[in-house]
Amino acid sequence: MPADASTLDITELRAGYGPLEIIRGLNLRVEPGEFVALMGPNGAGKSTLLKTLFGMTTVTAGSMAWEGRDLRGLKPGDILRAGIAFCPQGRCNFPMMTVDENLDMASYSAPRGAGTADRDYVYDLFPILKERRRQPAGYMSGGEQQMLEMGMAMLMKPRLLLIDEPSVGLSPQSIQKCFDEMIRINRAGCTVLLVEQNTRKAMQVASRAAVLRLGEVIWTGPPDSISFEQLGETFMTGKLPVTL
């Protein structure tokens, strides 16, 4: 497989919001098919990194190459067409529209339009959505709405899915279902880059973790190579335990 095939390669990236720099010389490489969890304390730059990859911040230096193409300067629509979809934090559906209608709205941006087969693929990933297809999205549970948003993103046929804090406001049962579906998406061949406040849960499902602090990646490796206690110490001090 060529080095740039469905690979995300971020090098010395600096980005933020206007003059406010949040990402400070960040380096990260994500290989095809990985499930990478971005971890770190509040303000580390995790969500900002996802927004930067989707063309929503100001990049001042460095590069972020996807499949060998630099994403700098591209608009979100161009990035979406390049195979990257983004599920932002919070509910981003149309609450008074049905599940089917929300998927119809998403299909307008899908490559070459989404047909029946694409809709069936979403309903296969999220069977509960098929049961709720005639129901207004705003009447569903938080977990079901999160699944709808992931389903809307999957209509884009992404090769890389960016997911920001999917468990916010969900019940424990809904959180489990949400993570189960992310695993299914990943196993279907989609690379996943996840920001998640539920660190323990993220460590259970990710194939690799990347710890951010002050806009930089300070450690990356398999989740089972660092304990939850060590991870907390790293969040607080920025220093990796010598026992790693």
Superfamily designation of domain 8-93+159-237: P-loop containing nucleotide triphosphate hydrolases (3.40.50.300)
* Relative orientation angle of helices 172-187 and 116-125, to the nearest 10 degrees: 130
What's the pLDDT at 209? 94
Half-sphere exposure of 134 (CA within 13 A, CB side): 0
Is 172 or 189 the better-scoring residue by pLDDT?
189
Contacts of 172 by beta carbon, 8 Å cutoff, 6+ apart: none
| Extended beta strands in the chain, E state | 8-17, 20-30, 35-39, 58-66, 69-70, 84-87, 160-164, 191-195, 208-213, 216-221
Q: Is the pLDDT of residue 75 over 90?
A: yes
Residue 113 has pLDDT above 70, yes or no: no
Work out the pLDDT band at 186, boundaries 50, 70, 90: very high
Pairing label, strands 216-221, 208-213: antiparallel
Cβ-contact 1, 159 below 8 angstroms = no
Q: Is the pLDDT score of 171 beyond 90?
A: no
Predicted local confidence at residue 83, as pLDDT: 93
pLDDT for the residue 125: 83
pLDDT tens digits, residue range 191-240? 999 999 888 899 999 999 999 999 999 999 999 888 777 777 777 777 76
Phi, psi values for residue 148, rounded to 5°:
-60, -45
At residue 208, the pLDDT reads: 96
